Amino acid sequence: MGYNLLEALNVQIVGSGDRYLVLAHGLGTDQSVWQRILPLFTPSYRIILYDLVCAGSVNPDYFDFTRYTTLDPYVDDLLNILKSLGVDSCAYVGHSVSAMIGILASIRRPQLFSKLILIGASPRFLNDEDYHGGFEQGEIEKVFSAMEANYEAWVNGFAPLAVGADVPTAVREFSRTLFNMRPDISLFVSRTVFNSDLRGVLGLVRVPCCVIQTARDVSVPASVAEYLRSHLGGRTTVEILRTEGHLPHLTVPALLSQVLRRALSR
């Protein structure tokens, strides 16, 4: 029956290496976001690609509003995928929400992951007393109501902001995938993500991590990377990409894959 999950989430394995590498996309994108990164890794890795259940490319019927209220069901999905593929060790590259999912998954199954690479990761998006997550609760509510009011306008405004760098193709690609999501789902998932708080559990991570962060990212302030480095339980390194935006895999695939390669080899 596991196969159904693989079908439903469009799981694909590409590449011919002997090691597994999971590429997990973030919110508002789908697995196609990795396609500029893929060619560099296919010779040396077997790459597992999948879509989060909230992605526009997944049949929205699979999105159970009563189930996906926290990140844990997403983790379940990931672990189930790996289980049904018979993977017993893999490196994991996760972007944004998938970075969070990766963290949680590695807490649950530390031996399954040899390495976590977290792109644009944040344990908590909202500010707190002694934590700067980049967003205030009020701001977020505004964003949500903007999404509610006019999803399309929000997408059009948000996409360039998120992409950050002036790369029209990336903006276009991101808008496309973002718009593919059903508005109510993306709203719901955004709420889930903004409600999540991983700060307390970071210490449970035992897997070596590499935090990749761009120099300027609207959703993740630079301090967050430092926070992750000091709080993640495993051996953690931070790589700052000299570029802007939340989606380096769309805007600077070449640079990112170089860093990825370096991080994976360590």
Report DSSP letters for 50-89, one per residue. E--TTSTTS-GGG--TTTTTSSHHHHHHHHHHHHHTT---
- The span of 18-26, 80-88, 109-117, 218-226 binding another protein (CB under 8 A) equals 80-88
Residue 77 lies near another protein (rule: CB under 8 A): yes
Residues 156-185 that bind another protein (CB under 8 A): 165-169, 172-173, 175-176, 179, 182-184
Q: Which residues are annotated as catalytic?
A: 96, 217, 246
The tokens of 254 are what? 């070449």
C-beta of 62 vs 114, nearer to another protein: 62
Is residue 201 within 8 A of residue 107, CB to CB? The reply is yes
Residue 22 lies near another protein (rule: CB under 8 A): no
Residue 222 lies near another protein (rule: CB under 8 A): no
Minimal distance in Å, beta carbon 201 to another protein? 4
Contacting another protein (CB under 8 A), which of 136, 152, 223, 235?
A: 152
Who contacts 104 (Cβ-Cβ below 8 Å, separation ≥6)? 71, 72, 75, 198, 201
Residues 28, 135, 189, 80, CA torsion sign: positive
Minimal distance in Å, beta carbon 91 to another protein? 19
Contacting another protein (CB under 8 A), which of 23, 82, 107, 209?
A: 107
Residue 151 lies near another protein (rule: CB under 8 A): yes
Which helix (H) or strand (E) segment holds residue 92: the answer is strand 90-95
Residue spans of beta strands (DSSP E) within 138-247: 209-216, 236-244
Contacting another protein (CB under 8 A), which of 54, 100, 112, 119?
A: 100
State whether residue 15 is helix, strand or coil.
coil
Residues 178-217 that bind another protein (CB under 8 A): 179, 182-184, 187-188, 191-192, 195-204
